[in-house]
Amino acid sequence: MPLLTTLLLFLLLLPLCCRIRACRLGGRFTRARQLYRLGAWLLGGMVLAAMAAQETILLLAGQLTWATALPLHLCSLMGLCTLPALLTRRETLLHALLLLGAPGAALALLFPAIMDTPWPRVTRLFFIIMHAGIFLAPLLPLSLGWRPRCRGACQAGVFLLTAGAVALPVNRLTGGNYLFLSGPVAGTPLILLHQWGWGSYLLLLAALAALLLTTEAVLMRLCVCTKRRRTGEMNENPRNTGR
């Protein structure tokens, strides 16, 4: 179901992204921005609506507490940031959405950690919709011409460290497990990191996050170098210069 829902949303979003790109490449920038804002409101609004629906379910089930309701999980933070990131196109938010939100949402879809409620199917549906929306959201700014930069990995790292610095004391005060810093959830690969105690678990989480961001930075650098090399080859080719 998670993969099917994500694929369905992708198929719905793809024509809009292609249209935005076509308008941008065709010089119709105003139309491209209009289509982009429409997609941003629809996708960002869908993510927020799915988040609100999950909170409502917890409220009706009597499970809405300080330990469960705060938006301090990575995907909850990304869910709140999706619409502002898409509308403002601020690089810090877009980098966080692409470099943290997309991989985090992908892992959540592959290894869902969903609270038990009296309405498990509805809860699961809104969980999937929210995470699928976060995963696909970077397609919109990319179609409008935005390209991530290597320094974005540092910005995303600062964002994650700040979230962790807030989540740690909140977990202590509320007994929650925001960002999964208090311990792993059953059924997820994080179980493998908890074999040597809580301190080692936190260090391994930090190491994995650093590895992810470093890998993403290297991939972005390779993309930039490849693009520059191709541009240089085209400029040196007489057929492309009219000589």
Q: What percentage of the chain has pLDDT greater than the value 90?
A: 73
Q: Is the pLDDT of residue 240 over 60?
A: no
Q: Higher model confidence: residue 59 or residue 221?
A: 59
- How is the chain classified by DSSP, letter by letter? -HHHHHHHHHHHHHHHHHHHHHHHHTT-HHHHHHHHHHHHHHHHHHHHHHHHHHHHHHHHTT---TTTSSS-SHHHHHHHHHHHHHHH--HHHHHHIIIIIHHHHHHHHHS------S-HHHHHHHHHHHHHHHHHTTHHHHHTT----THHHHHHHHHHHHHHHHHHHHHHHH---GGG-S-PPTTSGGGGGGTT-HHHHHHHHHHHHHHHHHHHHHHHHHHHHHHHHHHHHHHH-HHHHT-
Q: How many domains does the chain have?
A: 1
Nearest to 113 by CA among 41, 58, 50, 189: 189
For the segment 48-67, the average pLDDT, to the nearest whole number, is: 94
Confidence class of residue 37 from pLDDT cuts 50, 70 and 90?
Answer: very high
Per the structure, the complete domain to which residue 40 belongs is given by: 2-241
Q: Is the pLDDT of residue 167 over 90?
A: yes
CA pair distance 129, 199, nearest whole angstrom? 34
Quote the pLDDT of residue 89: 94
Taking only the tens place, the pLDDT of each residue in 133-146 is: 999 999 999 999 99
Under 8 Å between Cβ of 79 and 46:
no
Indicate the range of 95-104, 151-160, 184-193 predicted with least confidence.
Answer: 184-193
Q: Is the pTM above the cut of 0.75?
A: yes
Quote the pLDDT of residue 241: 46
Confidence class of residue 186 from pLDDT cuts 50, 70 and 90?
Answer: confident
Q: Is the pLDDT of residue 243 over 60?
A: no
CA pair distance 9, 3, nearest whole angstrom? 10
Taking only the tens place, the pLDDT of each residue in 143-164 is: 999 999 888 999 999 999 999 9
Q: Is the pLDDT of residue 242 over 50?
A: no
Q: Higher model confidence: residue 164 or residue 195?
A: 164
CA pair distance 191, 64, nearest whole angstrom? 26
Judge residue 5's burial from the number of C-beta atoms within 10 Å of its C-beta, 0-12 exposed, 13-18 middle, 19 or more buried.
middle
